[in-house]
Amino acid sequence: MQNAIILSVGAYAPSRVVDNQYFNELLGEDVGTWLSENVHIHRRHWCADDESTADLAENAARQALERAGVRPEQIDLIIVATDTPEYISPSTASVLQYRLGAAKAGTFDLNTACAGFVTALDTASKYIQADAQYQHVLVVGAYAMSKYLNMADKKTVTLFADGAGAVVLRSVPREENRGFLASRLLTHGEYHDWMGIYAGGAHQPVDAGVLERHEHQLQFVRKFPKELNPEIWSRLAVELSERSHTSLHDVTQFFITQININAIWETLDRLNLPHDKAHTIMQEYGYTGSACIPMAFNDAWEKGLVKTGDTVFFIGSGGGLAFAAAAFRL
C-alpha cells in the first residue's frame, strides 16, 4: 500500500501591488482602515493586463518542481483547482501541461471555489493511494479574481486578489509514517446562490444585458452569518484530529482560508489554541481564494515554520458553500 507525501511547495504572485490607499481614492471614502483592522488586509497583488490564471499556475508549478527535483516528464497527473479558469473549456490544467512539457501527465480542473486546493489535495492523495501508476502528482491552486471584479463594488473589489500555489505529491510506502492522514469534504448547497459569478455558463450566457448588470462579475448577493466559517472550520479540525489520531495541540500549523483574520482567530479560540498556530499572509496578498492555502503553506515553509515530521491541517472554504479539510504529516 502506498501513501502520498508533500515533496515540495511553490507559490507565485503578480508583480503589481495594490495597497488600501488605492481603494480610498477609487471609491472616495476610507475603506483602508476597515480592511486593515477587520480583515487584516493591507495590500494585494493583481495580474497585469496580459497575465492570467495559466501564467500564475505555471510560475508556481515551476518553482515546486524545481524544489522537488522532479522533471515535468515525471509528472503523472496535474490537477488545477480554480474558479477563475483560463477558459470555460478546455481545462486550465491542459494548458499548464503543455507549457510545462509534462507530456505523460493526465489533467483535469477542479472547482469547489476557494475550497478547491484542499479538495484537489485530497483527490490527488487518493489517486496515489489507489493506483500505483501515479507516482508524482502536481496540484495547483490558482486564482485571478481581479479579472472578475466590479471596480465600483466595495464589497468585493477591496478583498480579492491574484496568485497561485503548488505542491508536488510523491508516492511512498505507507510504513514511512509520513504523508496523507485524513480528510473531510462538506458542502452546504443551500448557500450556492449567495456569492459567486453567475453569468458566463449555461445558466446565463454573457450578453449585453448581463454585462450591464455586472452578472459576469463576482457578486456578494447575501451576507453570510459571521459565525459560519469558525463554527465549521473548528468542527472540521476536531474531526481531522479524531480521524488522524492526532491531538490538536500536536498540530504544528493550521492553514485556513485567508479571508478574515478574526474568523481564523475565533476558530483557534474555539479549539483552545494560540493564534500563532495559524500562519496568515492576507496582510500582504489579500484574499487569493483557491491559492491562499498553498501560498500560506509556501510562506511558512520558506520561513522555517514547518519542517519534515510536522503535522499540518489544511482547512478551506468557498462558494457553494464548499468546505474541505486534510491532515498531513510532512
Domains (range + CATH), the chain: 2-176 (3.40.47.10), 179-329 (3.40.47.10)
Residue 108 C-alpha cell reads as 483535469
Q: Dihedral sign, CA of 188, 194, 197, 200?
A: positive
Partners of 140 in the beta sheet?
80, 166
Helix (H, G, I), strand (E, B) or coil at 221: coil
What are the distances in angstroms from CA 262 to CA 28, 41, 117, 284? 26, 12, 22, 16
Instruction: Name residues whose C-beta falls within 8 Å of residue 217's C-beta, 6 or more positions apart in sequence.
Output: 148, 149, 150, 153, 156, 197
Cβ atoms of 296 and 264 closer than 8 Å: no
Task: Specify the pLDDT at position 215.
Answer: 80
Task: Specify the pLDDT at position 213.
Answer: 73
Going residue by residue through the chain, which has 330 residues, state the pLDDT in tens, using 9 for 90 and above.
899 999 999 999 999 999 999 999 999 999 999 999 888 999 999 999 999 999 999 999 999 999 999 999 999 999 999 999 999 999 999 999 999 999 999 999 999 999 999 999 999 999 999 999 999 999 999 999 999 999 999 889 999 999 999 999 999 998 888 999 999 999 999 999 988 999 888 888 888 788 777 788 888 788 888 899 999 999 999 999 999 999 999 999 999 999 999 999 999 999 999 999 999 999 999 999 999 999 999 999 999 999 999 999 999 999 999 999 999 999
Q: Rounded to the nearest 10 degrees, what angle do helices 261-270 and 228-244 cross at?
A: 50
Integer Cα distance of 62 and 72 in angstroms: 9
Give 3-state DSSP helix, strand, coil % of the chain, rounded to 5: 40, 25, 35
Task: Specify the pLDDT at position 219.
Answer: 85
Q: Rounded to the nearest 10 degrees, what angle do helices 92-100 and 53-68 cross at?
A: 50
Reported pTM:
0.95
